[in-house]
Amino acid sequence: HRPQQGIECLTTKVQNENFVLTMKNALFLGKNIIIESMPEKIPSSILPILAKEVQQEAGEKVIRFANETVSFNDNFQLFITTNLPNPHYSPEDSIKVTIINFTITQESLFDQLLGLVTREEAPKYENDRIRLIQQNADFKQKIKSTEDTILTLLQQSGDSILENETLLATLDESQSISRDVESKLAIAAQNEHKIEEVRKHYKPMAVDGMVIFFTICDLGNIDPMYQYDLEWFNRLFKHSIGLAAKHKDREIRVTNLIKSFREVIYHNVCRSLFGKHRLMFSFLVTVRILLNADAIDGDLFQFLLTGFLQKEHSRDLELANPTDKLEEKLWESTLLLSTFESFASLPRHIVDNTQKWEEFLLDSSKNPPIPEPFSESLTSFEKLLLLRSLKPESLEGGILAFITE
């Protein structure tokens, strides 16, 4: 991690040509040094430093580094950073250092974004909230300080507690402070409730931002080039607030805020994506938002991704494939799909209406119409599962229709 602000530090990287020389100078002069962008494989040359294998030679402290014995200064401090999103260091290396994970959590990002949008939309309430947090902390510190003073005086008084005028005066003062603080905390609680009533109106936008940010972060699993910075994201989030259409009705205004944010983030992210990944990004954002709102069954989404069931099924999966227009592996997938309630009658319907389904299977359009009654009974997301099982070549067109809807 980085040392506190104001402390002078050298910086280097393992890949730098002068890495060894820079480290030797820091060890000898007792400098603070940061090794940036550390890979998962920590170089063996710095392992003695991490293990603090300092020795005495001729009255001088030394340590092994890069196959040499180097003078060691007690003021030397080493900090290591990595830009890997989820690094996995070996247990042997991990126990030698103090690891601090600065990766933001969903809860902390939600609070951050909620504060940001409230500050832009209702600055008075957000400023009051921050002031109340500081005020409450000061009140609690004041009470603790008084309690500590009383404990100290009790220890010093011995058996003559009633004769200690300073202690008695402090006890009287503490009671007065406690009553005053309790009164102010009660008022603060009322004000805090009013502030939260305002803040809750903007929670949908904060949730939207949280979901989309972590979706963007996952793009790095598709291509390591896709790396996005939280500061950059926050700037776009704030920028989108200014672009949103104004409205006196707060609910309509929040709807406008969400629409503006989605448009801004979509266009900015798509600029950095390969063309083949843009539809996938749109789909992931759409699905993540719906999953977070419990508008999509997680088991259905898992089946769409893998074609496997995570739960036990009890339906009859022995029905024979009625047509040579459908591959056996796709028929098996359809039988598995029928374990979900929405598709329970699908295999039997295909058997009883083979010609209608063969026309569907032979349709070469990007998003062929699904035979009734499933065209009406299935949601747009459920239709994707049907396409995955019966007609995977049309899945891309189905995804586009799903996103558009």
Phi and psi at residue 390, to the nearest 5°: -105, -35
Helix (H, G, I), strand (E, B) or coil at 313: coil
273: tokens are 């994506």
Check if the beta carbon of residue 1 is closer than 8 Å to that of residue 38.
no
Count of other CB atoms within 10 angstroms of residue 89: 19
The size of the chain, in residues, is: 405
DSSP state of 245: P
Looking at the whole model, is its pTM more than 0.75?
no
Cβ-proximal residues to 181 (8 Å cutoff; 6+ apart), any chain: 139, 142, 143
136: tokens are 């409450």
392: tokens are 């995977």
Measured distance CA(346)–CA(374) in Å, rounded: 8
376: tokens are 């009406």
Q: Walk across the sheet containing 60-65 and list its strands.
A: 55-57, 60-65, 68-71
- The tens place of each residue's pLDDT in the chain, 405 residues long, gives 444 455 688 999 999 999 999 999 999 999 999 999 898 889 999 999 999 999 999 889 999 999 899 999 999 999 999 887 667 788 888 888 888 777 788 899 999 999 999 999 988 888 888 888 888 788 778 778 877 777 776 666 666 666 667 767 777 777 777 777 777 778 777 888 888 888 899 999 999 999 999 999 889 888 888 888 889 999 999 999 999 999 999 999 999 999 999 999 999 999 999 999 999 999 999 999 999 999 999 889 998 988 876 555 545 567 888 888 889 999 988 988 988 999 989 999 999 999 999 999 999 888 889 999 998 999 999 999 999 999 999 999 999 999 988
Per DSSP, what are the bridge partners of residue 13? 36
C-alpha count within 13 angstroms, C-beta hemisphere, residue 341 = 2
Measured distance CA(312)–CA(184) in Å, rounded: 57
Among 61, 35, 89, 22, CA closest to 53: 61
